[in-house]
């Protein structure tokens, strides 16, 4: 009866640094083959273990600014002294093919996406507590104490932006957080505004078909009883 839109769903996931959104998204991708994660570009240097084209596209600041002028990004923002942006070409291609697309972006970028595409799905990942968030940031051991405190102060401000999102998921236990995000994505598929067409027969046709089925069933039962006699 229902034909859903072929167009994929754009899913925006944001969180403060250290809340664990990257790990949650990795798990979701493992479990769902029809979801594609957009790879953002950044002007920051890669951290230890990060790979070009897997974690980010790493650009020099001058190159990033040129791409801004060339309208290459769906959105971009400057965060903690570095640019972050979402290349739009591949996203459009994937959505049109029916793939769902996850954007793992910062709060500023998410706000811009909401202005452009308010129908997108916005999910905020929350750490269980400020103390746990600070502990996770320290546990990375990739940045100076000054940088960690800067990220913590930024994260504290970002948590106050949660009302801009459709859903919030607390990442206390990883597996539970993953299940909640997956459930949200599945539930959104059932929204009425994602229905492209409803194939509903008129009332008279339904009643006629029902009566015909009843007549056939009754005849079959009668024939069977007569044969048994």
Q: What is the pLDDT of residues 31-40, one digit of tens each?
A: 998 999 999 9
pTM of the model: 0.73
Asked whether residue 98 falls in the same domain as residue 157, the answer is: yes
Asked whether residue 30 falls in the same domain as residue 138, the answer is: yes
Asked whether residue 113 falls in the same domain as residue 218, the answer is: no
Asked whether residue 218 falls in the same domain as residue 174, the answer is: no
Q: What is the pLDDT of residues 196-208, one digit of tens each?
A: 655 555 666 666 6
Asked whether residue 212 falls in the same domain as residue 139, the answer is: no
Q: What is the pLDDT of residues 129-178, one digit of tens each?
A: 766 666 666 666 666 777 667 666 676 677 888 889 999 999 989 999 99
Kindly state the average pLDDT of the residues 69-82.
Answer: 89
| Host domain of residue 155 | 2-195
CATH number at residue 29: 3.40.50.300
Asked whether residue 215 falls in the same domain as residue 131, the answer is: no
DSSP states along 18-53: TS-HHHHHHHHHHH-TTEEEPPPEESSPPPTT--BT
Domains of the chain: total: 2
Sorted by sequence, the CB contacts under 8 Å of residue 196 that are 6+ apart come out as 3, 4, 5, 6
Asked whether residue 146 falls in the same domain as residue 46, the answer is: yes
Q: Residue 80: what are its φ and ψ, rounded to 5°? A: 55, 40
Burial of 59 (0-12, 13-18, 19+ CB in 10 A): middle
Asked whether residue 158 falls in the same domain as residue 209, the answer is: no
Per DSSP, the three-state class of 217 is: helix
């Amino acid at each position: 009866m229902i034909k859903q839109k072929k167009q994929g769903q754009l899913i925006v996931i944001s969180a403060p640094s250290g809340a664990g959104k990257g790990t949650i998204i990795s798990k979701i991708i493992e479990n769902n083959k029809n979801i594609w994660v957009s790879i953002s570009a950044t002007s920051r240097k890669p951290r230890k273990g990060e790979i070009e084209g897997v974690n980010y596209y790493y650009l020099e600041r001058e190159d990033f600014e040129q791409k801004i002028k060339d309208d290459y990004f769906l959105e971009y923002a400057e965060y903690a002294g570095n640019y972050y942006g979402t290349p739009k070409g591949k996203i459009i291609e994937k959505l049109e093919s029916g793939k769902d697309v996850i954007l793992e972006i910062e709060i500023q970028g998410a706000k811009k996406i909401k202005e452009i595409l308010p129908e997108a799905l916005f999910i905020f990942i929350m750490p269980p507590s400020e103390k746990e968030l600070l502990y996770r940031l320290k546990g990375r051991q990739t940045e100076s104490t000054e940088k960690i405190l800067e990220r913590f102060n930024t994260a504290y401000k970002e948590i106050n932006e949660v009302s801009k999102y459709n859903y919030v998921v607390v990442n206390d236990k990883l597996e539970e957080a993953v299940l909640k995000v997956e459930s949200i994505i599945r539930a959104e598929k059932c929204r009425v505004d994602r229905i492209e067409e409803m194939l509903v027969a008129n009332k008279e046709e339904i009643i006629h078909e029902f009566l015909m089925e009843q007549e056939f069933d009754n005849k079959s039962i009668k024939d069977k009883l007569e044969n048994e006699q």
